[in-house]
Structure formats: C-alpha cells, structure tokens
Structure 1
C-alpha cells in the first residue's frame, strides 16, 4: 500500500470546531488497518536508527498516533495532557491556537533529565501546540531529537514558528 492511500482517507470537515475552521478528520485513516500502518510508518520513517527514549504525544489525537509511533521506534510514550488530567506535580505550558487558547501539562517526573524525545501530533497548524510541547520538554530538561507530524497545514506557516534545533518532519504537507 502506498502513502497516497492513507492520505486520500483524510476528510475535511468545514466549520468544526467553529465557523471558519476546516477540520482535518483522520478517523477514517485510523479505522483502516492498512492505512493506519502506512501512516504510522510515514511518521516513523525518518527516526529509525536514532535513539529515542520516549515520544511526547500531544492531546488528544496525538495520543492515537504517538502510542503506535513509540512502539514502532522502541520508545516509551509520555502524554502531554490538558490541565487537570494528570496526578502529582506537573509542568504547565499555555499556548494560543488558531481558534482560542489552551494549555498542556506533563508530569514533572515523567522522564529523567537528558532523555531523548520525539514530539508527535496529528496536525501542525499555526504551531502553538508544538511550541507548548517544546516548552514542556525544556521544563523536563530532555533533549528533543525531532518532531513528527502526520499533517502540516503549510498555508498556516506553523513551521516558521518552530524554535527548536531538531528537524521537523511532516508525513503530508497540505
């Protein structure tokens, strides 16, 4: 199966979650086993052979991709959650997104300092969520070795806001 198969399954949903936004629905990709496998391999491909201790996956669709991505890379998974979802001491990073404001949190003891991590999510839009994830990685004192996004909305120029030294990979640029 080629990558074009999984990319054709992505649906546009106009007006969700609010008017003016065109939501990229990846659920049909997840529901098709072969397409899901291809999408995960497209996310993992640049990182094979690179030591990655954990994937930091952004809530919520990032969890659906980050978990099998971590498994494909022989790494652990650390969820970056919305406020109030994690027990214990947490680090918090606020951010702006294309339709409002939000924050992500990570457990303060999720990883030892110096761990090598890959940031992962479903869509790179304006870059706010990615910058928040990077801010949490800094608070954890871990090394970001890369970023893997399923879809990059190139017209929103989120890549230009990436302030990390690590490479940013998008499996599909729209």
Structure 2
C-alpha cells in the first residue's frame, strides 16, 4: 500500500501456469454495497495487469488488462468481470465473466474475497517466457475507503501502465 496510509485489508497474489490467484481479507464492516450493474463504483477489488510489464509507455496495449471482483451478499453472489482499459492503443479480447472464478464469505469482522483469472483470459501471460508483470490494484469500500498499491487515484493509474508497479513471478 501507500506509505502513511492505514490499510484496512490484506491482499495476496499467487500464480501458477494456469493463471493468477488473489485473496483479499477486509477488516471492518465493509463489502455491504457491491453494485453488480456498475461494479466499478461499488464495493470491490480491481486489478490491472500488464503481462509484458512495459514500463515506459503511458497508454495500454493488448497486454494490459483490467478486472473487477465484488463480494456476494446474502441474496447476491460474488462475481467478476473484465473491462476495457480506457485510452488504450489496443485492447485484449474480453473474457467471458463465467471463466472468472470468484468466491466470498461475509464475516462479522469483515469479509474474504478470492478470485482466479485464468491464463487464457490474459493476452501474453506466459511466466516461462516473462516472469515480470505490471500490476496494481484498488480496493474500494464505501464504509472503509480506498486502498491502493502503487499510487492514489489523482494520478491516471486506471489507464496508465507506466504508473503500475512490477510483480515478479518467482517459482
């Protein structure tokens, strides 16, 4: 997270040749306001991934991906969806939301969210060829606020991959 900010969640990422895995443990009374119709505005976890980790280009390419995941509530189920990266020069093919595996559990002290993005849903994902990916995330919660990994939203992080961090995929 950002220095000087108090995180309200622990965020984990793992990888396998089959794709990327994320887990989010939110501490506090969050996750109560996911918006399935407009998931980018409700409670949820967004990730941006550049499978080529190009650091010097401020506009997305077909290797840049944006996913959003939201927790389920009592009457709703957890879900996920891929979105086009704004202002990108080229876009990857959007994956079918049914291919994204998402689960959540509401707790008295917060909630847990887990998600899997299959390798086939990320153009250029090949850890054997390239073990570094560009990466950032935004965890949004109407009660708890926002938690980010690389930079605050006043910068164009949502569409400028040069502002993302690098994650090394280590065996």
Q: TM-score, normalised by structure 2?
A: 0.32
Give the structure with the higher percent strand: 2
Q: TM-score, normalised by structure 1?
A: 0.31
Give the structure with the higher percent helix: 1
